[in-house]
Amino acid sequence: MSDARTAILGKVDRALRTARIPALDEHVAGDPTVDAPKRPWREGGQASGRGELLTRFVVEARTLGVDAYVETTQEGVRDRLATIITGLRVSSWNPDQLPYGAGALVGGAAFGSSPRADQAAAEVGVTGCHGAIAETGSIALLSGPGCSRVVSLLPPLHVALIRPDDLFHGMGDFFAARADRIANAASCTFVTGPSRTADIELSLTIGVHGPGRVVIIVGP
């Protein structure tokens, strides 16, 4: 066996031996935005009620490094979004495609129809969401008129606004419920945490092929 192959396999072996999946409690302890979770999924069951879906989605998203907030009012969603985007150059879905009246906050943003240079200069992208997958902490975005795919891929910060009706247990549930919209969409993008890129030597880099920071805001 060559020295290079031996070195690479040695790194893989060490990574496997030291790999660690954070415990669920670490991501919810002392956090006022989500209650301590019930854990039916740990025992092979699946989260069924809306509250269980939300809790699992938030826990899984935070495990991926996503900043997740749960707001109890529409005003709370708008206030949270305003706090995040104030002072930054914004790219956004069209205002009528954003829930919770958030379109009023992005009046000066670059949209999918804006000049390419304006979209490229954006520091934060604001989108809605077509599906929030509790099992993996992923969000699904369907591109089409008013919902430019660039908004979630180009800026270094992506903020997604999520409604309770967007929550699904798994991918299969999402595909079944959104079949017609998926068929008519230009593309379907799944976002599972910040963009991650790793080379053969297991060197992980964040934010190379997409946003390095993802924020989700779940409203009422």
Sequence length of the chain is 220
Q: How many Å apart are CA 135 and CA 31, to the nearest integer?
A: 21
Residue 20 has pLDDT above 90, yes or no: no
Mean pLDDT over each residue of the chain, to the nearest integer: 84
Is residue 21 very low, low, confident or very high in pLDDT (cuts 50, 70, 90)?
Answer: very low
pTM of the model: 0.77
Please state the φ and ψ torsions of residue 75, each to the nearest 5 degrees. -60, -40
Other Cβ atoms closer than 10 A to 172:
11
The three-state DSSP-derived secondary structure of the chain is CCHHHHHHHHHHHHHHHHCCCCCHHHHCCCCCCCCCCCCHHHHCCCCCCHHHHHHHHHHHHHHCCCEEEECCCHHHHHHHHHHHHCCCCEEECCHHHCCCCHHHHCCCCECCCCCHHHHHCCCEEEECCCEEECCCCEEEEEEECCECCHHHHCCCEEEEEECHHHEECCHHHHHHHCHHHHHHCCEEEEECCCCEEECCCCCEEECCCCCCEEEEEECC
What CATH code is carried by the domain that includes residue 158?
A: 3.40.50.10420
What pLDDT, on a 0 to 100 scale, did the predictor assign at position 203? Answer: 67
Alpha-carbon distances of 160 from 26, 151, 183, rounded to whole Å = 23, 10, 22
Is residue 5 very low, low, confident or very high in pLDDT (cuts 50, 70, 90)?
Answer: confident
- Residues 172-190: tens digit of each pLDDT: 999 999 999 999 999 999 9
Residue 208 has pLDDT above 90, yes or no: no
What pLDDT, on a 0 to 100 scale, did the predictor assign at position 49? Answer: 80
Instruction: Please count the structural domains in the chain.
Output: 1
Show the domain range for 163: 3-218
What pLDDT, on a 0 to 100 scale, did the predictor assign at position 22? Answer: 45
- Residues 88-135: tens digit of each pLDDT: 999 999 999 999 999 999 999 999 999 999 999 999 999 999 999 999
- Residues 137-151: tens digit of each pLDDT: 999 999 999 999 999
